[in-house]
Amino acid sequence: MMPTTRATTEDRSAVRALLRLWPYVRPVRGRLFTAAFVAVVASCTGLVIPLVLKWMVDGPVADRDPAGVWLGALYLLLLGVAEAVLFGLRRWLVARPLSHVEAEMRAGLYRRLQRLPVAFHDRWASGQLLSRGTTDLMLVRMFLAFPLTFLLVNAVTILVGVVIMLMQDWVLGLVILGPAVPVLWTCVVFERRYAEVARRAQDQVGDLTTVVEESVLGIRIVKGFGRHRAQARAFRKLSGALRGTELRKARLLATILGVIVTLPEVAIGAALVLGALRVADGDLSAGTLVAFLSTALALRWPVDSIGFLLAMSQEAATATERYFEVVDEEPEDAGGTAPATGAEGARGLRFEDVRFRYPDAPAGSQPLLDHVDLHIRPGESMALVGATGSGKTTLTALVPRLHEVTSGRITLDGVDITAMSRERLRAKVAVAFEEPTLFSASVGENVLMGAADGAGEADLDRALAVAQADFAHALPQGTGTQVGEQGLSLSGGQRQRLALARAVVGRPEFLVLDDPLSALDVHTEAAVEAALRRVLTDTTALIVAHRPSTVLLADRVALLSGGRIAAVGTHHELLRTNAEYAHLMSGDDGEPGTPGDPFDDDHGDPEDER
């Protein structure tokens, strides 16, 4: 399992990462550009206030004109109201489009997760994927709503404000501009360091999410083995690491804020002293000094906000990188690229010289499956038997293309499965796994997931009957009862029967069952087998089996050993001729073929014993 995906900051560009958001932003760019323009106008409106103050001080105040003072106050009131209304309009303009962008990105991520191969999900921790679809996208939306606009707005505001101050008095203007170089240098250093820490924090959030999810889903194991303290310690350790990273972020932000706030304040103080001296000497009017200082004070917010706007931008950039780490993964191909040819004699399910090695296996390692040749005739059921770890489940996963063969090919009725689209292939092949997975939906919805659109109550009732899952009708709301997350409100046997019902409800042409009866009691197993025999007469089936009772469902048996098909025959033929098979069916811990094997010929027919 892949706990984290650490990214280095070498050759990293926050701008390049954020530009990848453009395809999602483009449909709503009109409202966003309008909102940015409105925000610039609102900010520049605030810069008119110092000019009104200059007029009032040098005019009505100096001339002791009360009417002029009241008129100036009215101007200031109107400017304040206009600024507030414009900023409110900006917020209204961005709210709807940005919620749309976030929803589209989340939907795109979910679609990609559905299309990514099983090997990807085997590598990635679920908490990492969850954090990308929740926390990271929230950071992206916040960036689009605030920093994206205000980095532009504040830059324009500072530029216009500096021009106004230089026009008022260029000497005082140069004093105010003095801290510009150290502030810019601090921002560059901050950006590089903060990016690294922000990425680490977001990865740690994913790790923490994984631990919480595993603890909740595995609560029965945690409680059953009394491991709650150990789990709590693991959680505290990760939580402490995340806290330390967040404190590191806080220290970096405090440093840049200290520089950004202190240096401009010192410059304003110096300008105040120098300006007061020049007013006393008659070189500068009081109104000009008031306007200059008012403008400088109006620029405090745009300058002071640079620190946390850069911090939010860096967090959004790392969130965007994490999002596209998943989106950029290569999805399963649509299929249908191989030539759709096959001989009539090759009907049924056939494995032809199939080899398989997991993509992340060490180079040069032995394949898990090696030169597998197996033919299941139309309408035949084949039991697949082998020792634990022999690759039985992997072999069955190749049929619906949950994994891709390394070499060789698999055909259905003579057609290479790679020549079919995955949608068509999986409409032909139904699967039931040993570990049944149910969703937070009703019993009926879970079962009908295996049927084509339009399946109704009759199909549901038939499938439940085959799987001996009539208990569903006795639930509080019948087949409409919600089974809860992972179906944990049901017993293991009930979940397994519902999974089997899901596999047979669509009347598939090909059926792949991975030890589907392992969690059933003897009596229920016998009833399911009796109903399943009727289903197997109309389909071609491959059944992973560990017990003789399951093997006897099949017409023939294939023994998988050493990654190859070692023997094929009926159950009784293999008992007589293959010591390894007899050993597997006996459940004996001794060596294959040792005396005392309950399936030795001297012990009679095992079916009679059953």
> Which residue matches tokens 């606009």?
149
CB 368 within 8 A of CB 394: yes
> Which pLDDT value is given to residue 607?
36
> Which pLDDT value is given to residue 268?
84
> Which pLDDT value is given to residue 595?
39
CATH superfamily label, 344-569: P-loop containing nucleotide triphosphate hydrolases (3.40.50.300)
Gap between the Cα atoms of 354 and 358, Å rounded: 13
Three-state DSSP at 385 gives strand
Stated pTM of the model:
0.73
Side chain identity at residue 534, one-letter code: R
Dihedral angle sign, alpha carbons of residues 566, 572, 573, 576: positive
> Which pLDDT value is given to residue 335?
58
The answer to whether domain 15-327 and domain 344-569 are alike in fold is no
Locate the domains of the chain by residue range. 15-327, 344-569
460: enclosing H helix or E strand: helix 457-466
> Which pLDDT value is given to residue 588?
57
Give strand pairing partners of 2: 124
Short-list 423, 416, 427, CA closest to 510: 427
Q: CATH fold of 15-327, please?
A: ABC transporter transmembrane region fold (1.20.1560)
Range 12-21 contact pairs with CB under 8 angstroms and sequence separation of 24 or more: 12/195, 12/321, 14/191, 14/195, 14/313, 14/314, 14/317, 15/317, 17/317, 17/318, 17/320, 17/321, 17/324, 18/143, 18/313, 18/316, 18/317, 18/320, 20/320, 20/324, 21/101, 21/140, 21/144, 21/320
CB 116 within 8 A of CB 126: no
pLDDT along the chain (610 residues), means of 10: 45 79 88 85 81 77 78 83 84 82 90 86 84 89 85 84 84 84 82 85 87 77 77 88 90 85 85 86 82 82 82 88 90 60 65 88 82 91 88 89 89 89 85 80 86 80 86 87 75 82 86 77 75 80 85 89 90 90 73 42 37
CB 127 within 8 A of CB 238: no
